[in-house]
Copies of this chain bind each other. A is one copy, B any other.
Amino acid sequence: MKTPSSLDFLTEALRRLPGVGPKSAQRMAYHLMQHDREGAALIARAMSQAVERIHHCARCNTFTEHEVCETCLDDGREPSLLCVVETPGDQLMIEQTLTYKGLYFVLMGRLSPLDGIGPKDLHLEKLIARATDGIVTEVVLATNFTNEGEATAHYISETLKARGLKVSRLARGVPVGGELEYVDAGTIARAMLDRRTT
């Protein structure tokens, strides 16, 4: 038996999804072709559209379909406060606590020397330019409380304090080793209220 090449191609392509190995990719491909062709067509369309339209906000670096994202354009926010998070998911978690009314900068990652991700790869110069615009007075570091997140916070803190900014960090109400995305909003709220100057 030879698998049709379009099916091999699809199985190979699905392995580009994070956490999907050869067996899962094959199961997904078979499932879609057998039971959910509409779903397959939908995924194809959504994927093309996202690749075409999604890029990074010129101010906060998050995903957006516009030049500047809606959060950055929201003039009801306190422009002197800038919260640094690793991912858009982390930003969403902080928004849900309703304890923060400032703006954001989304790193889209963290420093990770073992994976070859240094300050340049994270485009930290973009963050420095953003934080030293003369309007921002306090930068709240809300990277994860993992080793890499802590190292990232430390690096940013040292860099920005050298430029005369007040830098604070979410309080350690967040369990050590935990990732923001999986912590309940109450804990994150506590940590936001207890943020401390570093």
The residues of A with any CB-CB pair to B shorter than 8 Å are 1-7, 9-10, 12-14, 16-19, 23-24, 26-34, 36-37, 39-54, 62-65, 69-71, 87-89, 91-92, 95, 104, 108-109, 181
Contacts and interface: CB of A to CB of B under 8 A. Distances in A.
Given A6-B53, A65-B4, A16 B32 contact: yes
Contacts of A91: 1
A143 to B, nearest CB: 16
A50 B29 contact: yes
Given A26-B89, A43-B13, A87-B30, A1 B50 contact: no
A22 B63 CA distance: 18
Contacts of A48: 41, 44
In the complex, which of the residues A63, A69, A70 has the most CB atoms of chain B within 10 Å of its own CB atom? Answer: A63
A111 to B, nearest CB: 15
Contacts of A40: 16, 47, 50-51
Contacts of A69: 1, 4
19 contacts: A1-B71, A1-B91, A2-B70, A3-B88, A4-B53, A4-B54, A6-B52, A6-B53, A10-B50, A16-B32, A16-B36, A17-B39, A23-B181, A32-B50, A40-B47, A43-B43, A43-B44, A44-B45, A44-B48
Contacts of A4: 53-54, 63-65, 69
A4 B71 CA distance: 11
